[in-house]
Amino acid sequence: MDTVRHFKWDIIVLVAALVIAFVYQGWAAVWLAAILIVVEIVFSFDNAAVNAKYLTRMNDFWQKMFLTVGILIAVFGMRLIFPFVIVCVSGGITPVEAVTLAMEKGDPHEPGTYGYILEQAHTSIAAFGGIFLFMLFLDFLFDPEREIAWLSWIERPLQKLGRLDVLTVVVAGVVLLVASDVLVDESERGTVLFSGLLGMVIYLSVNGVASLMEAQEEKRAAELDRAASGAGAQVRLAGKAAFSMFMFLEVLDATFSFDGVIGAFAITPDPLIIALGLGVGALFVRSMTVYLVRRGTLAEYRYLEHGAHWAIGALATLLILTLAFDIPELVIGLTGLAFIVTAWTASVVANRREAASADETTASPADQDADVDQDADPTAGSDGDYDDSPVAVGADR
The conformation of residue 237, written as its DSSP 8-state character, comes to: B
Find out whether 276 and 98 touch, Cβ atoms under 8 Å.
Answer: no
Output the CA–CA distances (angstroms, integers) from residue 30 to 41, 195, 348, in the order listed.
Answer: 17, 31, 28
At residue 386, what are phi and psi to the nearest 5 degrees?
A: -65, 135
Q: Where are the domains of the chain?
A: 2-355
pTM: 0.65
Cα atoms found within 13 Å of the Cα of residue 153, Cβ hemisphere only: 0
From first to last of its 397 residues, what are the pLDDT tens digits of the chain? Answer: 566 777 788 888 889 989 998 988 888 888 888 888 887 776 666 566 556 666 766 777 877 787 677 767 766 776 777 777 767 776 677 777 777 776 766 666 677 666 677 677 778 878 888 888 888 889 888 888 888 888 888 888 888 888 887 889 999 999 999 999 999 888 889 989 998 998 898 888 877 776 676 666 667 666 666 665 554 445 555 566 667 667 767 766 665 566 567 667 767 777 788 888 888 887 887 777 777 666 655 456 778 778 878 887 888 898 899 888 887 766 776 787 788 788 888 888 888 888 888 777 776 555 555 554 555 454 444 444 444 443 343 444 3
Q: For residues 302, 304, 305 and 310, what is the CA-based torsion angle, rounded to 10 degrees?
A: 130
Q: How far apart are CA 309 and CA 386, in angstroms?
A: 67
Q: How far apart are CA 392 and CA 164, in angstroms?
A: 66
